[in-house]
């Protein structure tokens, strides 16, 4: 049965709840302010005087605040001891941004005193069942459900001090650094670090109003970090409701070299049981080295390169490599299209050679066993020599080069138009990311792609998650939200059950998340674990559907 996927277009016949991009921008910065309760704030914001004009509207008293140049929703809300959410709730037009001369209705002091107390309550760290020092400046504690008295969540900058005292002894090691004895910890002592690009130290340099008006763009890495965090938070809240008592520490790694080095010197990092991220390769390699030295399990949520797994059995990666994707494409093509004219498009790029070799290594033995012709390899100049006029041409483009992929697809489409050839194209997951690919071309070429992420919108759990996300964040979840949720829920559940041994158990934990299929494999006992959860999707009717 075919199911619907998300990346290129939304499922047909389905009503989606959309909010404007401007509201999304405002909301993401509300989230940033929530994370930033430690006091860095908007240092450049002008001093705002509370308005003396008060009006009664529908039986309620409001301050009428005239907006002046340079004022933001956050700075205005702070002046009146309220929240951005409450200002927006009473001034719907402010969702589209502020301009000088606007008049905002701010709830009168009779309401704001209660709001102020709630803000102070949310900003104060909850007492743990263990005795822990009050966190210093720049250590941010995000609010947890009121019933929780054991779990704390930290978002830290490099100036923070150690606020987590784990009493469990560290594993004993022999001279080679291999664990020879390990005692399972109490669940309340489990600590997980998440490294995300949040740019908290430069938040005052970002102009919310210009971004909301479309005059500036939110940095892509910051947007990704925020969305990933949203997924992490929903997963952690779900686990807490299920009784999980571990601790989640979130670190902002968008720092200069000195700041990042200082961050890795934080004492509590050595006490972590699992590290998720960073999302960028260079920063991940540095943190992975730290994790290996301190015998800590670490996971890469979005990196494709398998080199990060070499020599570190405590490492794992969620996104299958292009070589693994090429392997799965080869199995599918050889089994489903044996007897057709199977062609490999060679980009002549040295980086793509391993993918071509992998495809032939896997596909040819299957084809030979079925007494079918083996794979042919072509270039742009030899394409017409190998195109069959009597049978379907299965053209595979195993390339990570976006320019080559675009050129190859365009050339194949023109050939199909001019010569009416039967052509079916296969590509890798990067097809989903290339904006220059024409939807009409993809449709005409009946494109199939390997997929590392797939969201089944017919699944009941997916529907529940989307409803929960909409209720909390007032917009649609993105791929990064799903990624943060799936990775956090999978790994923390495994950590809860297996503690330090979770990596050794990964091959046994075959599960499906909202968009990620977990199916881990270890190539060598001295290396880490790669997720081989790869699906196949077909582009038809201007939407991707999963066929395997």
Q: What are phi and psi of 85, to 5 degrees?
A: -55, -40
Q: Is the pLDDT of residue 111 over 70?
A: no
Q: Is the pLDDT of residue 18 over 50?
A: no
Once rounded to an integer, what is the mean pLDDT over residues 125-142? 34
Report residue 316 as tokens: 């794992």
Decide: 325 and 532 in contact? Cβ < 8 Å. Answer: no
Count other Cβ atoms within 10 Å, centred on residue 43.
9
Beta bridge partners of 538: 448, 545
Q: pLDDT tens for residues 258-284? A: 889 999 998 889 989 999 999 999 999
Q: Write the DSSP string, 50-100.
A: PP--EEEETTEEEEEEEP-TT--HHHHHHHTT--HHHHHHH-GGGGG---T
Q: Which residue has the higher pLDDT, 426 or 11?
A: 426
CA distances from 367 to 17, 20, 280, 293, 424 (A): 47, 51, 39, 46, 18
Q: What is the pLDDT of residue 457?
A: 83
CA pair distance 127, 499, nearest whole angstrom: 25
Decide: 361 and 375 in contact? Cβ < 8 Å. Answer: no
| 355 Cα distance to chain centroid | 25
Q: Could you tell me if residue 420 is left (phi over 0), alpha (psi between -120 and 50 degrees) or otherwise beta?
A: left
Task: Please tell me whether the peptide bond between 278 and the residue prior to it is cis, using omega within 30 degrees of 0.
Answer: yes
Decide: 525 and 491 in contact? Cβ < 8 Å. Answer: no
Q: What is the pLDDT of residue 267?
A: 87
Q: What is the pLDDT of residue 126?
A: 39
Q: What is the pLDDT of residue 199?
A: 84
Q: pLDDT tens for residues 229-250? A: 999 999 999 999 998 988 999 9
Q: What is the pLDDT of residue 95?
A: 65
Q: Write the DSSP string, 116-161.
A: HHHHHHHHSPPPPSS--PPP-TTEEE----TT-SS--EEEE-TTPP
Q: What is the pLDDT of residue 127?
A: 38
Binned at pLDDT 50, 70 and 90, residue 352 comes out as very high
Q: pLDDT tens for residues 166-196? A: 333 334 333 333 333 345 667 778 899 999 9
Lowest mean pLDDT, pick from 82-91, 186-195, 387-396, 477-486:
82-91
Burial of residue 373 (number of CB atoms within 10 Å: 0-12, 13-18, 19+)? middle
Q: Tell me which residue of 142, 151, 143, 127 sits closest to 492, measured CA to CA.
A: 151
Q: What is the pLDDT of residue 324?
A: 95
Q: What is the pLDDT of residue 28?
A: 56
**Domains delineated in the chain:** 42-123 (3.10.350.10), 139-162+172-319+475-516 (3.40.50.2300), 322-451 (3.40.50.2300)
Q: pLDDT tens for residues 421-436? A: 899 999 999 998 888 8
Query: From edge to edge, which strands make up the β-sheet containing 103-107?
Result: 54-57, 60-66, 103-107
Decide: 7 and 544 in contact? Cβ < 8 Å. Answer: yes
Helix (H, G, I), strand (E, B) or coil at 225: helix
**Torsional sign, CA 204, 206, 207, 208:** negative
Lowest mean pLDDT, pick from 80-84, 353-357, 498-502:
80-84
Q: Count H helices, E strands: the chain?
A: 16, 24
How does the average pLDDT of the chain come out, rounded?
Answer: 79
Q: Tell me which residue of 101, 100, 74, 99 sits closest to 88, measured CA to CA.
A: 74
Q: What is the pLDDT of residue 162?
A: 35
Once rounded to an integer, what is the mean pLDDT over residues 157-164? 41
Q: What is the pLDDT of residue 6?
A: 40
308: which DSSP letter?
G
Q: What is the pLDDT of residue 230?
A: 93
Give the highest mean pLDDT range of 28-37, 166-175, 196-205, 373-382. 373-382
**Number of residues that make up the chain:** 548
Report residue 234 as tokens: 């929903």
Q: pLDDT tens for residues 518-537? A: 999 998 889 999 999 999 99
Once rounded to an integer, what is the mean pLDDT over residues 33-37? 48
Rg of the chain over CA atoms, in angstroms? 26
CA pair distance 111, 113, nearest whole angstrom: 6
Once rounded to an integer, what is the mean pLDDT over residues 297-317? 95
Once rounded to an integer, what is the mean pLDDT over residues 277-295? 95
Report residue 506 as tokens: 């990964």
By percentage, how much of the chain surpasses pLDDT 90?
Answer: 48
Q: Which residue has the higher pLDDT, 457 or 353?
A: 353
Once rounded to an integer, what is the mean pLDDT over residues 468-494? 93
The contacts of residue 329 (CB under 8 Å, 6+ apart) are 359, 396, 398, 426, 428, 450, 536
pTM for the model stands at 0.70
Count other Cβ atoms within 10 Å, centred on residue 476.
16
Binned at pLDDT 50, 70 and 90, residue 112 comes out as very low
Q: Is the pLDDT of residue 208 over 80?
A: no
Decide: 344 and 353 in contact? Cβ < 8 Å. Answer: no
Q: pLDDT tens for residues 37-92? A: 332 223 334 578 888 888 888 888 889 999 887 777 767 887 888 877 678 778 87
């Amino acid at each position: 049965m075919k199911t619907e996927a998300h990346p290129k277009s939304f499922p047909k016949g389905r009503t989606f709840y959309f909010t404007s991009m401007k509201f999304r921008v405002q909301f993401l910065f509300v989230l940033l302010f929530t994370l930033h309760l430690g006091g860095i704030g908007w240092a450049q914001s002008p001093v705002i005087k509370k308005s003396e004009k008060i009006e009664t509207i529908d039986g309620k008293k409001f301050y009428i605040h005239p907006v002046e140049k340079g004022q933001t929703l956050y700075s205005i809300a702070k002046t009146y001891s309220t929240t951005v959410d409450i200002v927006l709730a009473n001034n719907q037009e402010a969702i589209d941004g502020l301009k000088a001369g606007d008049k905002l209705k701010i709830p009168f002091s009779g309401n704001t005193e209660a709001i102020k107390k709630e803000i102070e309550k949310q900003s104060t760290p909850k007492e743990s069942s263990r005795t822990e020092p009050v966190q210093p400046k720049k250590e941010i504690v995000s609010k947890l459900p009121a019933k929780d008295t054991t779990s704390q969540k930290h978002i830290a900058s490099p100036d923070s001090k150690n606020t987590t005292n784990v009493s469990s002894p560290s594993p004993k090691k022999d001279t080679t650094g291999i664990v020879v004895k390990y005692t399972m910890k109490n669940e309340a002592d489990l600590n997980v670090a998440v490294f995300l690009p949040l740019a908290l130290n430069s938040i005052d340099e970002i102009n919310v109003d210009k971004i909301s008006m479309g005059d500036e763009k939110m940095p892509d890495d910051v947007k990704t970090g925020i969305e990933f965090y949203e997924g992490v938070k929903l997963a952690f809240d779900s686990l807490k409701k299920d009784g999980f008592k571990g601790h989640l520490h979130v670190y902002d790694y968008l720092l200069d070299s000195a700041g990042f080095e200082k961050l890795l010197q934080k004492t509590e990092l050595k006490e972590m049981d699992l590290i998720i991220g960073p999302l960028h390769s260079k920063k991940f390699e540095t943190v992975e080295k730290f994790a290996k030295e301190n015998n800590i399990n670490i996971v890469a949520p979005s990196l494709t390169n398998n080199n990060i797994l070499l020599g570190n059995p405590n490492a794992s990666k969620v996104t299958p490599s292009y070589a693994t994707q090429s392997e799965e494409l080869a199995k599918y093509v050889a089994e489903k299209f044996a007897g057709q004219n199977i062609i490999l498009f060679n980009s002549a790029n040295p980086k793509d050679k391993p993918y071509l070799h992998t495809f032939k290594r896997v596909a040819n033995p299957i084809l030979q066993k079925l007494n079918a012709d083996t794979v042919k390899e072509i270039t742009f100049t030899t394409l017409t020599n190998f195109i069959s006029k009597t049978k379907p041409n299965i053209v595979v483009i195993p390339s990570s080069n976006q320019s080559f992929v675009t050129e190859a697809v365009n050339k194949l489409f023109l050939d199909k138009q001019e010569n009416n050839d039967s052509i079916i194209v296969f590509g890798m997951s990067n097809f989903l990311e290339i904006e220059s690919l024409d939807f009409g071309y993809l449709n005409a070429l009946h494109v199939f792609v390997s997929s590392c992420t797939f969201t089944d919108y017919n699944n009941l759990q997916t529907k529940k998650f989307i409803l929960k996300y909409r209720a909390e964040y007032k917009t649609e979840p993105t791929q990064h939200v799903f990624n943060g949720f799936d990775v956090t829920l999978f790994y923390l559940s495994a950590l809860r059950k297996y503690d330090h041994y979770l990596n050794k158990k990964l091959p046994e934990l075959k599960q499906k998340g909202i968009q990620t299929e977990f199916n881990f494999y270890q190539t060598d006992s001295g290396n880490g674990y790669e997720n081989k959860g790869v699906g196949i999707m077909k582009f038809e009717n201007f939407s991707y559907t999963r066929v395997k």
